[in-house]
Chains A and B, each alone.
Chain A
Amino acid sequence: MAWSGGGGVFGGAPGGAGFAGGPRSAANPGGGLPFAGIPPELQAGVDKLLTSEPDHGEPRARFSYRASAREGRRLTLRWLLFEHWHLGALAVLLVTVVSVANQAGPRLIDAGINHGMGRHKDFGAIVAAAVAYLIAIVVTAGAQHLQVRVTGRLAAWVMNDLRVKVFTHLQRLGLDFYTDEKAGVIMTRMTSDIENLQQLLQDGLAQFTVQGLTMLVIAGLLFSMNVRLALITVVLIMPALTALSLWFRAASERGYDRVRDGIANVLADLAESLHGVRIVAAHNRQRHNVVHHRNVVGEYRDANMYTAQINAVYGPGTQMLGYLGSGAILAIGGNMVLHHTLSPGDLVAFFLYLNRFLMPIQLLVQQYNTYQQGQASIIKLRTLFEVAPSVPEDPDAEELPPIHGEIVFEDVTFGYDPTNPVIRHADLRISAGETVAFVGPTGAGKSTLAKLVTRFYDPGQGRVLIDGHDLRHVTVGSLRRQLGVVPQEPFLFAGTIRDNIAFADPEATDDQVWEAIRAVGLVDVVERMPAGLDTIVHERGQSLSSGERQLIALARAFMARPRVLVLDEATSNLDLLSETKIEAALDVLLEARTAVLIAHRLTTAMKADRIVVVDEGQVVEIGTHDELVARGGRYAAMYATWMSHSDADPERAH
């Protein structure tokens, strides 16, 4: 989670002096919040950067409703990396070179001291050592340069694969998944769970290897110089530092959990106060809220103080351990030099290596967090991949040929929860070109019947047929391309008006889009827009009125030129003008199509060829308006109520 990075500046460079830990790349500008845009002062830099961006061309990913065998594999880190094994192998090689070459320095200083500054003064030996050192530096830097490039690419590619894979899978999942799972959770899988792996792949794995190897190399060098002193160093310092680091990790994990909760509460409180500002003002709650907010911020500060406490122990603590270790080496190694069991150069090298030995321990312990987070994300993603689509495409599914639009329900029973059917033994036949209105009380199953036509769900029992084809035996794409759906609440994507209308057919020409716009009577609205078809519709379509949004949804359906149209009538209040426009648009849209209307108003239902009254999951009446009124059943009662209602007056109501 991005927030844990918040401690970076405080807790960073834990060893303080002596550790040239590279500056972290992730500046974490967002701080775990929704992205608020690039700050203006950095915009120029970003623009400059963008001039070097090439055209990426068409993405390679292709969508299919059926998963290939390769995609069905179990998701593991190893498998993800395996796809780019050649890069991985190169990275391992480079990491090894870095770890070894990087540790040459102190050993060479040692050699320079022993051979050049001992009893025989020999400047040549010193020059040789210094030159060797320079070469080692060049090798290290070169290998590091390549390694960063290689691991950076490896991470970027693997992440790209993963994003496409997860999203493809999400696209295959049925509507049930989207209604059962909270949107936030789905969002997390595609965002922070994947982003967690970024850190691990880009840097974590390489660091893990580098630090591990570094420790081995240094330990090897120390032992090769003097076994006793090396043993003492390892026995004295390593356990203490490891223990301290483990404590730190556990404690700071607890601490950052508190900090995360704290900041979440602070921001939620702030957000709610802003969103509910009218309620706050109306109830004179400002003073109360200020004190409450102070308490919430105070708790957050306390949480921060707790982590500060931990950091304040750990940073100076490790430093102190390092110095104490140096003191110990001085005491023991110094005596050895006095007794000529250790050369002065080796003693100097011991000091220098000790410093370099402390860092990997700390880094390893900290990297372990990255690794754990990455693993946790992998497991969550794996679980997601194990969710099977509820409306799978039959392996033998055929393309649905161009249809006439006859829809048949054969003894259909269905429930979102199979034990609690919403539709019971429904039989219904809608002829091609007919307009049928579903009416009935809330929850009767009108929308559910419609959703079975679009195959958002499969019936538990019975069949739904279009032109005699069982929906389960045709490909999803070929079916849906011949259907048009207008949902109750029109959803607009945050793109241009063109993209929204041409959703079903991204290749559509402007003329075609305009035709759709004309058909629904949106011309004046679009022409009024500052950028015409290219006007960006705001998030959730805020810049358009709800009537206009509905018209765009109708245009979108028109654009798809469906044979079968499923329309869930909007219930929201519209002004009269929009109302008239929408009715006109519907007349155009319904012409010569099979249409299923989920009607919430009797005026709409009356326009249909036939009316289907649905109640408790069953079709209870079918017929034209006149027939049903004459029959004197449910529909007639509804109609009577409505008639009395529309000219009712409040006095009569009681």
Chain B
Amino acid sequence: MRLGRGHAAVEELPGSPFVPMAVDPRYSAPRATIDPDRDKSWLRRALPIVLSHRRTFATALILSFTGLVLQVQIPKLLGDAVSELGRAGALDHYVRLVLVLAVAAGLTGYVSRLCLMRTAYSIEFDLRNIIYEHLTRMSFPFYDRVQSGQLISRANSDIRSVQMYLTFAPSILVQCAIAVVAFGYMLSISVPPAFVAMATMPFVYVLGVRMRRLMFPVSWLIQSRLADVATIVDENINGVRVVKSFAGEPRQLRLLARAADRLQWAYVKDADIRARFTPVVQNLSQLGLALVLLVGGYLVVHGHLRVGDILTFSFYIVMLQAPFQMLGMLIMMGQRAAASAGRIYEILDEAPTIVDRPGAIDLVECAGDVRFDSVDFSYLEGGPLVLEGFELHLRPGETVAMVGRTGVGKSTVARLLSRFYDVNSGAVRIDGHDVRQLTLASLRSKIGIVLDEPFLFSVSIRDNIAYGRPDADFADIAAAAEAAGADEFIRQLPAGYDTVVGERGYTLSGGQRQRIAIARTLLVNPPILVLDDATSAIDVQVEQQIHGALRVLMRGRTTLIIAHRLSTISLADRVVLMDQGRIVADGTHNELMATNPLYVEVLAQAADTDVDAAPEPVTRPRGWEDGPTGSPPFGVEGV
């Protein structure tokens, strides 16, 4: 697959009169993005982002080096001071120097850390926005392939590990560079104890690396077993009725206890690995101190070293331990970051397949003439054809109901109309324009689709309805809700139109969600309307009420209704029956009833399900019990 428009320079999504925009940008967009050249190493590809923060980053590194150089002086000064205690005025001099250095090191430390972290978080900000923006460009075939859960999870931890490495690797390297300076100081005092002092450092590093190499699998194993436990609990909660019905409690407990045992083993394993390494890693510096005492002491006895120098060496040993430990960490971080970057680039390197063609025109005026011209379509390249030689014509202002068995491809027709997918062959035309010759934004602004599974966002109902027109005023919003039969129940909610719904808010019933989804589409006022099983979960009685409003709204609009219910079909001027990827019958309901056995069969099946007045669970989030309120009386249809 070729790269689409390169993302070397950040490119704003194109604005257009059809694209709603009602949010103030409070933060500026990333200034750089990932280098699109896939032959470069992952670090080189990320470089533009790092470089776009070069000023802060360079300040951080330079100051952190300065700060460390200042700090390295202090042990030396303390040691010298102890050695030269007898000299007049020496003490005051050293004390003053130490205090000045302490303050200076503190200040540079503060500024350098601040700059370093500013860089880190800015890189994270950039990466998150770049990925998000890229995802919004992607087309549906991409979303059919990837799992959103994985995407989110990956987007999160992978961004972190890349950002961490990009920022902290240089900083750790600076800290290690300081080890060289300190070593130089020690050598200048005395060579043998300098080597003795440094002798343990490689072990600190090597052991640290080995420990992490062993620890990482364990900590992931722990994570995965924690997830196992969580899965058992989750299933037990969701399937609690099955568990209770079949007296499955002992079995569930056994499952959990087994998972807990496995988790326990992993934790013990973790402890055992730490037990092997921690004492050594932590005490290596002590070993260094003891050796310095021995070797340094020998030199002091023979007059080659001063007592204060022992103090200096001791300080350095302790001071240098951390960088060497981190050096080990750096390698692990690098490996993880490379893998993470690979996964991020995998997403970024994928180009959207459904984009505006060069020279695409805006669909400004739309009469609403819809035509499918011998359309072939399959979701997968080379996969089974869902539509085969599909022909359908909707005249401007006409309302057509499409009927067919489950899985016959009715929803696909709606998706092709909005150009969520491109046809394999043939064409979808609106007012004679092939939809592929139109800009996506203008095309989609003319088509209102209400899906059977109405997705609401975790924002207020008001904002949900205004999703396609974020700047709509309240009167319009309420009117749309009214037309969709939603106004009444919305006003009864705790915060009315300001009630937050969706995954992280108030739970609405399927029928209520569908009504909001209808209102959302009505507000946009599109000349072409597609109702994809949009009223399936709405109480038949309520649906009747909506129909009145819908009839008015459909006037002058081209409407395609995908439905099972007779009552819904009754809204249409004409019915088409779909089977095996094409329209097999076309006519009024009565004509089809009289002539087409398949039609009768499909409808009979749907009708049978409706007797119970299509249960619409009440809004309170009580599990499976149908609530005592709001239940419609028997006689279903307004015959």
**Which residues of A have CB within 8 Å of B468?**
282-285
B121 interface residue (CB < 8 Å to A): yes
The number of chain A residues with a CB under 8 A from chain B is 220
The answer for the CA separation of A291 and B13 in the assembled complex, in Å, is: 10
The answer for the CA separation of A504 and B245 in the assembled complex, in Å, is: 9
**Which residues of A have CB within 8 Å of B92?**
331
**Which residues of B have CB within 8 Å of A250?**
none
A33 adjacent to B615 (CB under 8 Å): no
A274 adjacent to B81 (CB under 8 Å): no
Residue from the list A35, A141, A295, A344 in contact with B224, Cβ < 8 A: A35
Which B1-53 residues have a C-beta within 8 angstroms of A?
A: 12-15, 18-27, 29
A164 interface residue (CB < 8 Å to B): yes
Nearest chain A residue, comparing its CB with the CB of B253: A63
A164 adjacent to B260 (CB under 8 Å): yes
Nearest chain B residue, comparing its CB with the CB of A500: B242
A191 adjacent to B233 (CB under 8 Å): yes
B636 interface residue (CB < 8 Å to A): yes
Q: Measured between C-beta atoms, what is the minimum distance from B91 to chain A in Å?
A: 5
Using an 8 Å CB-CB cutoff, how does the interface string of B423-461 with A read, 1 for contact, 0 for none? 000000000000000001100110111010001011000
A60 adjacent to B257 (CB under 8 Å): yes
B245 adjacent to A483 (CB under 8 Å): yes
Q: Measured between C-beta atoms, what is the minimum distance from B446 to chain A in Å?
A: 10
A42 adjacent to B217 (CB under 8 Å): yes
**Which residues of A have CB within 8 Å of B276?**
145
The answer for the CA separation of A169 and B247 in the assembled complex, in Å, is: 15
B632 interface residue (CB < 8 Å to A): yes
A271 interface residue (CB < 8 Å to B): yes
Total cross-chain contacts (CB, 8 A): 673
The answer for the CA separation of A124 and B613 in the assembled complex, in Å, is: 99
A351 adjacent to B311 (CB under 8 Å): yes
The answer for the CA separation of A475 and B250 in the assembled complex, in Å, is: 14
Q: Measured between C-beta atoms, what is the minimum distance from B139 to chain A in Å?
A: 9
B634 adjacent to A638 (CB under 8 Å): yes
A285 adjacent to B157 (CB under 8 Å): no
> A157-B264, A316-B106, A645-B636 are known contacts. Are A113 and B611 too (CB-CB below 8 A)?
no
A323 adjacent to B18 (CB under 8 Å): no
A443 interface residue (CB < 8 Å to B): yes
A272 adjacent to B457 (CB under 8 Å): yes
Residue from the list B111, B136, B612, B632 in contact with A571, Cβ < 8 A: B612
B19 adjacent to A454 (CB under 8 Å): no
A62 interface residue (CB < 8 Å to B): yes
The answer for the CA separation of A433 and B609 in the assembled complex, in Å, is: 27
Nearest chain B residue, comparing its CB with the CB of A173: B240
A320 interface residue (CB < 8 Å to B): yes
B301 adjacent to A297 (CB under 8 Å): no
Nearest chain B residue, comparing its CB with the CB of A167: B256
**Which residues of B have CB within 8 Å of A648?**
566, 607, 637, 639
A484 adjacent to B113 (CB under 8 Å): no
Stretch in B186-194, B267-275, B363-371, B481-489 with 4+ CB within 8 Å of A: B267-275
**Which residues of B have CB within 8 Å of A294?**
25-27, 29, 129, 132
> A25-B219, A653-B570 are known contacts. Are A503 and B248 too (CB-CB below 8 A)?
yes
A22 adjacent to B278 (CB under 8 Å): yes
The answer for the CA separation of A630 and B287 in the assembled complex, in Å, is: 99
The answer for the CA separation of A634 and B470 in the assembled complex, in Å, is: 49
A315 interface residue (CB < 8 Å to B): yes
B226 adjacent to A137 (CB under 8 Å): no
Residue from the list A58, A113, A480 in contact with B246, Cβ < 8 A: A480
> A35-B224, A637-B635 are known contacts. Are A53 and B265 too (CB-CB below 8 A)?
yes
Residue from the list B233, B293, B406, B623 in contact with A190, Cβ < 8 A: B233
A216 interface residue (CB < 8 Å to B): no
A289 interface residue (CB < 8 Å to B): yes
A573 adjacent to B21 (CB under 8 Å): no
A46 interface residue (CB < 8 Å to B): yes
Stretch in B147-155, B373-381, B387-395, B576-584 with 4+ CB within 8 Å of A: B147-155
**Which residues of B have CB within 8 Å of A573?**
406, 564, 605-606, 609
**Which residues of B have CB within 8 Å of A39?**
220, 336, 339
**Which residues of A have CB within 8 Å of B226?**
35, 191, 195
Residue from the list B95, B263, B311, B445 in contact with A284, Cβ < 8 A: B445
The answer for the CA separation of A594 and B499 in the assembled complex, in Å, is: 46
**Which residues of B have CB within 8 Å of A351?**
78, 311, 315
**Which residues of A have CB within 8 Å of B248?**
503-504
The answer for the CA separation of A444 and B140 in the assembled complex, in Å, is: 43
B546 interface residue (CB < 8 Å to A): no
Q: Measured between C-beta atoms, what is the minimum distance from B267 to chain A in Å?
A: 4
B128 adjacent to A266 (CB under 8 Å): yes
Q: Measured between C-beta atoms, what is the minimum distance from B549 to chain A in Å?
A: 15
Q: Measured between C-beta atoms, what is the minimum distance from A563 to chain B in Å?
A: 14
**Which residues of B have CB within 8 Å of A23?**
208, 211-212, 281, 325, 329
What would 9 more interface pairs be, CB under 8 Å, given A117-B310, A645-B611?
A62-B250, A144-B278, A156-B271, A159-B260, A159-B263, A334-B85, A334-B91, A571-B609, A648-B607
Could you give 12 example pairs across A and B, Cβ below 8 Å? Answer: A41-B335, A109-B310, A137-B290, A141-B280, A163-B257, A279-B457, A308-B113, A477-B250, A491-B238, A503-B246, A576-B605, A644-B637
